[in-house]
Structure 1
Amino acid sequence: KIVFYEDKDFKGKSYDCKGDSVDLQSYIRRCNSLKVEGGWWVLYERSNFTGYQYVIGPGDYNAYHKWMGFNDCVRSCRIIKIRLFNRPNFGGQSIEVTDNMKSVPEQWQRNEVLSCKVLVGPWVFYEHPNFSGRQYLLEKGDYRHHTEWGALRSTVGSIKRVTQ
């Protein structure tokens, strides 16, 4: 989750956000500080995910210049995420991932990913746990089958989001 504050140093009116928001202006007029309690987020200067973008991770930001903001305008936000499926064409069981996974089998009880939807941000799939083995870069989009991201096998051992 992410908490927006109208004033610096986590003061003034606040808003707790747990997911994507197309218009924050109905909750806060401005944003001078914030706390990211989980995941990586994209903040947008304007509503509907437009304007300048800021990619931020977990931490406390007591003033907008701490996240490299130009001003106190944050009007929409989106959590960086990817959805994995255990069947082709987005079928079967699925899991939404918003942070790095050092070991996919430990967190999802499987290491096969047969399709996925990259909702926000680029991600790297690794063939083995601990970010090792063959690597596959996945950008925003739908991948109906593991061959669409260039893999010969559907084995995914770990996942890392690209933040820089």
Structure 2
Amino acid sequence: MEKIVFYEDRDFQGKSYDCKGDSADLQSFIHRCNSVKVEAGWWVLYECNNYMGYQYVIGPGEYNDYRRWMGFNDCVRSCRIIKNAKAPYKLRLFDRPNFDGQSLELTEDMKSIQEKWLRREVQSCKVLEGSWIFFEHPNFCGRQYLLEKGEYRHHSEWGALKPTVGSIKIIIEL
């Protein structure tokens, strides 16, 4: 069963909250989040209530400081469980909105999208199998965007302000 524990202070100190499912508003349980233990499952943490703002995708493990999950600050206001993190994995990228233009199919992580894609922009995509994370920069750095099975006609549909994608990672359930 999925479970994540949020702590207000670094190194798993201070007030804590055990969460076992999606939560649109964590603020009534904790006021800030400086460390997290993921006991089971993959989760996406959001900077704002109602699954809005910056996204941080984390899997099983201990994160003693918000920078360990590439957080920009100690704001975690909502979270949800990531489903569909099992094989097979297949993703199709398009260089134009609405699945137009050149496309590229992926079945594995890409540390730098420019290895196989001449541009750093992805305008639309189809997640055919599995769940994926788009990172703003190469080497799995920068803003993160969770993409679960489905169609994304425009980069704004996965929450991005710009179509810049530097690297892509599969979410693999252990």
Bucket of the pairwise TM-score, normalised by the shorter protein: 0.5 to 0.7
Q: CA deviation at 1:75?
A: 0.1
Match of 2:22 among 9, 13, 20: 20
Q: Deviations 1:91-132 (Å, cap 9, x if unpaired)?
A: xxxxxxxx546xxxxxxxxxxxxxxxxxxxxx727xxxxx9x
Structure 2 gap segments, 5+ residues each: 91-106, 108-127, 131-147, 152-168
Q: CA deviation at 1:8?
A: 0.4
Report what 2:75 is aligned to. Answer: 73
Q: Deviations 1:10-53 (Å, cap 9, x if unpaired)?
A: 00000000010000000000000010001111000000000000
2:74 alignment partner, SS class: coil
1:66 alignment partner, SS class: helix
* 1:87-102 → structure 2 map (5 Å cutoff): 99-100=85-86
1:34 alignment partner, SS class: strand
Report what 2:129 is aligned to. Answer: 137
Q: CA deviation at 1:141?
A: 4.0
CA–CA distance in 1 between the matches of 2:64 and 2:48?
A: 21
Report what 1:11 is aligned to. Answer: 13
Report what 1:163 is aligned to. Answer: 171
Structure 1 gap segments, 5+ residues each: 83-98, 102-122, 126-130, 143-160
2:40 alignment partner, SS class: coil
CA–CA distance in 2 between the matches of 1:69 and 1:162?
A: 19
Q: How many residues end up aligned between the 2 structures?
A: 100
Report what 2:89 is aligned to. Answer: 124
CA–CA distance in 2 between the matches of 1:52 and 1:61?
A: 18
1:37 alignment partner, SS class: strand
1:44 maps to amino acid:
Y
C-alpha contact (below 8 Å) 2:129/2:149 kept by paired residues? no
2:67 alignment partner, SS class: helix
Q: Root-mean-square deviation (CA), in Å?
A: 2.5
Report what 1:54 is aligned to. Answer: 56
Match of 1:44 among 46, 62, 65: 46
| Overall identity of the aligned pairs, in % | 69
Q: Which protein is bigger by CA-based radius of gyration?
A: 1
CA–CA distance in 1 between the matches of 2:28 and 2:13?
A: 18
* 1:96-115 → structure 2 map (5 Å cutoff): 99-100=85-86
Moved over 4 A (4+): none
CA–CA distance in 1 between the matches of 2:77 and 2:69?
A: 15
1:59 maps to amino acid:
G
State TM-score, norm by structure 2: 0.52
